[in-house]
């Protein structure tokens, strides 16, 4: 139960029930690297990720007294805790350095500037990404650290993000966790037990990626957004307003139109005052598929805290938003709505943004397969 299969039609870490801990890293390819270097990198990374997911050390010499061990060692005695390691390719990989321009999926481009963006470019973007998730934070960090180490000479780490608690349920078997604002998060998320919804909204179909981009069929787009919460302001807001911001009750997570957590929201219901029960600027109303032509995404986000903001003395904490989708347009559609109208905007700032194309899974029973082989 503690081991998630590494191989399959899709990469693990997308439709895996969200683990509790995250280590995420974005990398840039070092100038002067070749396509052969990329192939070597992805071959090595695949073998190491597969071993680590099975609870084994990074392959190589781990007991020679006269050389540094292949594995850094901090996960030796730990269970993998459902470790998944997921790779993504950024738009920069297709800029001509590796002769891959003709293989670029049309939609893999830096996300446009969206309403309310306050992005820091140094913690945005990247040529490659690794998402490591586990129930154990040290196991997740170990995976990212060892891949960064194996990549030395070909990639440099551009930015990293740790997440200390999942803020999404992605499986009907999971209880809904709470985000740092104290609200249940993930109630109406896509659930991996619904393959029709996963095919409609998460997995890239062959017809989505014609021609040179066909290598991406069976994959998914990953959008990451580091969203700082202005917690000191939020914590001074009265409960009724907090509930109006999301359109849900804080304790039970029920829609303000009534019922319990899983009662479908009634966006038409009005109060005795004549006002809508779920306010027009409520996060849940603006993000709901009913109000976005059916647009849905698989949210797989984590809470973070990165110390104190030196300019204000306030906590630099929030939600590291990760979502998987069939087309980045799903995110830009929702965020265009939210960025302009969401009552939540008073309490959040988007500080980083990235888009990666996650290739399909490594084929079972094919020893020579590696992440992105159909691309390279
Ligand atoms: C729903 C929190 C950012 C998309 C929710 C819910 C909460 C929440 C509490 C209601 C429970 C649920 O169904 O999961 C937050 C917080 C955010 C944030 C604290 C930032 C710090 C975003 C962003 C997007 C997004 C950036 C996408 C652009 C959605 C969607 C739903 C949702 C699609 C489900 C709506 C529905 O079907 O009812 N969010 N969210 N959220 N959120 Fe967010």
DSSP code of residue 184: B
CA dist 109 and 177 (Å) reads 32
Assess contact for 183 and 252: CB atoms under 8 A: no
Atom of ligand 1 nearest to the CA of 186: 14
pLDDT computed for residue 1 by the predictor: 58
Low-confidence ranges of the chain (pLDDT < 70): 1
The pTM of the whole model exceeds 0.95: yes
Assess contact for 60 and 71: CB atoms under 8 A: yes
Matching residue, tokens 């540094």: 68
Q: Count H helices, E strands: the chain?
A: 7, 10
Residue nearest to atom 35 of ligand 1 (CA): 288
pLDDT computed for residue 184 by the predictor: 98
Atom of ligand 1 nearest to the CA of 348: 21
pLDDT, tens digit, 9 for 90 and up, residues 252-269: 999 999 999 999 999 999
Atom of ligand 1 nearest to the CA of 338: 28
Other residues' Cβ atoms within 10 Å of the Cβ of residue 329: 12
Joined together, the tokens standing for residue 340 give 């302009």
pLDDT computed for residue 151 by the predictor: 98
pLDDT computed for residue 282 by the predictor: 98
Joined together, the tokens standing for residue 297 give 């995404």
pLDDT, tens digit, 9 for 90 and up, residues 211-229: 999 999 999 999 999 999 9
pLDDT computed for residue 82 by the predictor: 98
Q: Is the ipTM of this complex over 0.90?
A: yes
- Partnered with residue 356 across adjacent β-strands are 222
pLDDT computed for residue 261 by the predictor: 98
pLDDT computed for residue 306 by the predictor: 97
Compute, in angstroms, the gap from residue 353 CA to the centroid of ligand 1.
16
CATH number of the domain located at residue range(s) 1-60+71-90+125-163 in this protein? 3.30.70
DSSP calls for 287-348? H-GGGTTT---EE--EEEEEEE-TTT--EEEEEEEEEEES-HHHHHHHHHHHHHH-GGGGGE
pLDDT computed for residue 123 by the predictor: 98
The pocket around ligand 1, CB under 6 angstroms, is made up of 179, 181, 183, 185-189, 225, 227, 229, 246, 248, 283-284, 287-289, 297, 318-319, 321, 331, 334-335, 338, 348
Q: How far is CA 88 from CA 66, 71, 122, 320, 361, in A?
A: 35, 23, 18, 17, 11
Assess contact for 134 and 140: CB atoms under 8 A: yes
Q: What are the residue boundaries of the structural domains of the chain, listed by start?
A: 1-60+71-90+125-163, 106-124+173-360
Compute, in angstroms, the gap from residue 338 CA to the centroid of ligand 1.
10
């Amino acid at each position: 139960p503690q081991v998630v299969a590494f191989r399959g039609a899709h990469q693990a870490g997308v439709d895996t029930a969200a683990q509790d801990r995250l280590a995420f890293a974005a990398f840039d390819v070092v100038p002067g690297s070749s396509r052969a270097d990329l192939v070597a990198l992805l071959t090595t990374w695949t073998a190491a990720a597969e071993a680590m997911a099975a609870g084994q050390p990074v392959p190589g010499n781990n007991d020679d007294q006269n050389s540094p061990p292949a594995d850094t060692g901090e996960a030796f005695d730990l269970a993998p805790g459902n470790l998944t390691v997921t790779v993504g390719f950024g738009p920069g990989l297709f800029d001509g350095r590796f002769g891959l321009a003709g293989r670029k999926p049309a939609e893999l481009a830096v996300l446009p500037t969206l309403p309310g963006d306050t992005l820091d470019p140094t913690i945005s973007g990247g040529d490659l990404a690794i998402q490591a998730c586990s129930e154990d934070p040290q196991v997740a960090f170990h995976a990212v650290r060892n891949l960064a180490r194996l990549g030395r000479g070909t990639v440099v780490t551009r930015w990293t993000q740790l997440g200390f608690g999942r803020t999404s349920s992605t499986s009907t078997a999971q209880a809904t966790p709470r985000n740092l604002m104290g609200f249940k998060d993930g109630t109406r998320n896509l659930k991996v037990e619904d393959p029709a919804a996963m095919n409609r909204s998460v997995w890239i179909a062959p017809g989505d990626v014609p021609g040179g981009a066909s290598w991406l069929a069976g994959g998914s787009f990953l959008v990451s957004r580091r969203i700082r919460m202005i917690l000191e302001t939020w914590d001074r807001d009265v409960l009724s307003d907090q509930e109006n911001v999301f359109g849900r009750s804080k304790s039970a997570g029920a829609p303000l139109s009534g019922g319990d957590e899983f009662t479908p929201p009634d966006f038409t219901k009005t109060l005795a005052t004549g006002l809508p029960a779920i306010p027009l600027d409520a996060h849940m109303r603006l993000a709901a598929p009913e109000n976005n032509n059916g647009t849905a995404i698989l949210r797989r986000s984590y809470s973070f805290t990165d110390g104190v903001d030196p300019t204000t003395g306030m906590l630099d904490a929030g939600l590291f938003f990760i979502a998987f989708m069939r087309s980045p347009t799903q995110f830009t559609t929702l965020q265009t709505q939210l960025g302009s109208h969401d009552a939540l905007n008073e309490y959040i700032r988007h500080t980083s943004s990235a888009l990666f194309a996650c290739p399909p899974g490594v084929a079972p029973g094919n020893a020579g397969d590696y992440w992105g082989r159909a691309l390279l």
